[in-house]
Amino acid sequence: MNIIYTVLNSQKLNGKKDANNEKVYLGTKVELLKALLDSNIYNKLMIDLENLENKAINLQNTIIHEYNVLEELWRYHPSNENFINPIKEYEKLKERIGELELKLDEIQNQIKYKNLN
């Protein structure tokens, strides 16, 4: 962008002056061109900043996820004094799932009965 400013400020490139004695390049006032360039630079910086913020948020979310996995694994780790025995836990979960499936069947039967009446 510095090259463009240098070129616009240069007297060599049609740096004519209009009736108000302001520099004009290709029919556009130099100050207006500078403002447009500044706006584009600002927009690019804002987009770059937003992209960096999104990357930071994604990394934070990944770190949180990894800590959750680490915490879950620690529950089953043999070095943990209060570790969960995965074999016993598996059997408990199977039993709980079976109970939940029975409750679901019961509720679905109640729904069918109410729909028939």
pLDDT in tens, the chain (117 residues): 444 444 444 434 455 555 566 655 555 565 666 777 777 787 787 788 889 999 999 999 999 999 999 999 999 999 999 999 999 999 999 999 999 999 999 999 999 988 887
Please enumerate in sequence order all residues whose Cβ is within 8 A of that of 57, keeping only pairs 6 or more positions apart, or say none: none
Strands (E), the chain: 16-17, 23-25, 28-29
CA 108 to CA 102: how far, in whole Å?
10
Q: How far is CA 20 from CA 17, 23, 88, in A?
A: 8, 9, 89
For residues 45 and 53, the answer to whether their CB atoms sit within 8 Å is no
Q: What is the pLDDT of residue 11?
A: 39
34, two tokens: 């500078």
Q: What is the pLDDT of residue 100?
A: 98
